[in-house]
Amino acid sequence: MSSSETRSALPTGRGVIRTMPDRLFIAEMVFGGLVWMLLISPGSHSAPVLCWVMFCSITCFLVSTIWLCVFCCGANASRIWLKLDVVYHVLATLMYLSASICLAVMTNALSEHKHMNWVGPSVVAVLYKYFIAATILAFFTTLLYFIHAIYSVMRSRRAPYTAI
């Protein structure tokens, strides 16, 4: 076997920060974390839609953190990690897209009920502002996961074939 067949196509250690799709890990975690921080900062909500958005954002944040640690530690030497990387980022993109759409629908529903009181902004108006910011960040995070998924697919197709 030649050395090009045995080396992994996935970066390890500091190489994670140097390769294009893996640079997006940090941005995905930052913006994904901001989504759920914006949703819980105005107070607790019991809407089932928000539970789904929170589940998606926290799950993707935690799995991306674990994924980044695996890449940095160099435990991704097998070719199966190329396929797992593609599968994870496609699923994360779909989850975030569904969460973003649900959050946008809920934000739109809040826009019809916001109004100003004589004393100051109502609770709904304040929630509406937080939800607008969270919706924008959720769609941006979806875009980051989508770009990462596209680059992961391209990297998986370029990788030399080796038996698992």
pLDDT at 139: 96
Q: Which residue has the higher pLDDT, 58 or 82?
A: 58
Q: Estimate to the nearest angstrom the gap between the alpha carbon of 136 and the chain centroid.
A: 13
Closest listed residue to residue 37, CA positions, set 143, 157, 141: 141
Which of the two residues, 104 and 71, has the higher pLDDT score?
A: 104
Residue pLDDT, tens place only, 112-154: 766 555 445 677 778 888 889 999 999 999 999 999 999 888 8
Residue 5: the pLDDT is 41
Instruction: Supply the pLDDT for residue 150.
Output: 93
Query: In sequence order, what are the residues at sequence separation of 6 or more whose Cβ sits closer than 8 angstroms to the Cβ of residue 88?
Result: 63, 67
The rounded distance, in Å, linking the Cα atoms of 157 and 10 is 12
Given a cut of 70, is residue 164 above it in pLDDT?
no
Global confidence as pTM: 0.81
36 and 57 in contact (C-beta within 8 Å)? yes
Q: Give pLDDT, residue 13.
A: 62
Half-sphere exposure (Cβ direction) of 164: Cα atoms closer than 13 Å = 7
